[in-house]
Amino acid sequence: MTEGEKRIRQHYLLHEKDAWFGSTALWQIPACIYIINARKPAHILDYGCGKGVLIEKLRKLFPRIQIDGYDPAVPKFANRKAGCLREKYDLILCFAVLEHIPEFDIPDVLADIRAFGENVFFLLCHVKATHTLPDGTNAHCTVKPLEWYQRIIGGMFPFASPVSGHPPKNSFMLTFPLSLPEMEEFRRLLLAPKRRSEAVVLFLTKLIPVRRWRKSIRAGLRKKIIDRQTRDILSL
């Protein structure tokens, strides 16, 4: 078993153990809506989709768009046989994936992503994860700055535009251009709501001393915040 296969196995076990593992993408629904409305894709692939929580939400919002998912650590989305995935997609989402990949495997993963299409929306994380794999290692095995990702993604795609999100934790990378007004609105969307929302979630949940209750309340608050942000962006 290769190092990459071992990591996939460890992520599979963590997905089985933790129902919330892989739900980071839910925070990006407003950004997804904005990009989808700007690009108007007919077919979308969520590469590294986890349990498919983002796919489920986007399918309800965009029922006319075909939205597929791929994740080798989740059996439901691991099948790449003919008929399961398209050869090409108009837009690919790759949220909080690359940091889970061993550094020496990232070029191969990027090549695999590009084989599906050149229009990719990356979410990148630059710090260690809060999750630990069953073998005791951190879920993020590749922690690199934005400049490193821009260099390696730019070497694989003809276009790579970095967008700072919430430094130093997260940033974004687009492999397709947006107009200047679109980029300014996109930056505003990324920077403003989540910072306030996270502050509210962290403040309120710290008031609850019991860990299980805190987790439940945090999940409920996240859902309300995401639903509100989705309504706001749909009204634009």
Among residues of the chain, what percentage have pLDDT more than 90? Answer: 59
Per-residue pLDDT for 220 more than 70? no
Amino acid 132 reads T
| pLDDT tens figures, 128-178 | 998 899 999 999 999 999 999 999 999 999 999 998 765 568 899 999 999
Structure token pair of residue 217: 């309340």
Note whether 186 and 178 are within 8 A (CB): yes
For residue 66, list its beta bridge partners.
43
Contacts for 16 with CB less than 8 Å, ≥ 6 apart:
none
Q: Which residue has the higher pLDDT, 128 or 201?
A: 128
Amino acid 215 reads K
Phi–psi pair at 235, nearest 5 degrees: -85, -10
Per-residue pLDDT for 179 more than 60? yes
d(CA 57, CA 53): 6
22 pLDDT tier (thresholds 50, 70, 90):
confident
Contacts for 82 with CB less than 8 Å, ≥ 6 apart:
none
Q: According to the model, what pLDDT value does residue 204 have?
A: 43
Domains of the chain (ranges; CATH) run: 3-191 (3.40.50.150)
Q: According to the model, what pLDDT value does residue 236 have?
A: 46
Give whichever of 19-33, 151-165, 195-209 has the largest mean pLDDT. Answer: 151-165
Place of tokens 């059996």: 75
SS (H, E, C) the chain: CCHHHHHHHHHHHHHHHCCCCCCHHHHHHHHHHHHHHHHCCCEEEEECCCCCHHHHHHHHHCCCCEEEEECCCCHHHCCCCECCECCCCCEEEEECCHHHCCHHHHHHHHHHHHHHCCCEEEEEECCCCCCECCCCCECCCCCCCHHHHHHHHHCCCCCCEEEEEECCCEEEEECCCCCHHHHHHHHHHHHHHHHHHHHHHHHHHCCCCCHHHHHHHHHHHHHHHHHHHHHHHHCC
Q: Which residue has the higher pLDDT, 204 or 119?
A: 119
Residues recorded for the chain: 236
Q: According to the model, what pLDDT value does residue 192 have?
A: 62
Per-residue pLDDT for 195 more than 60? no
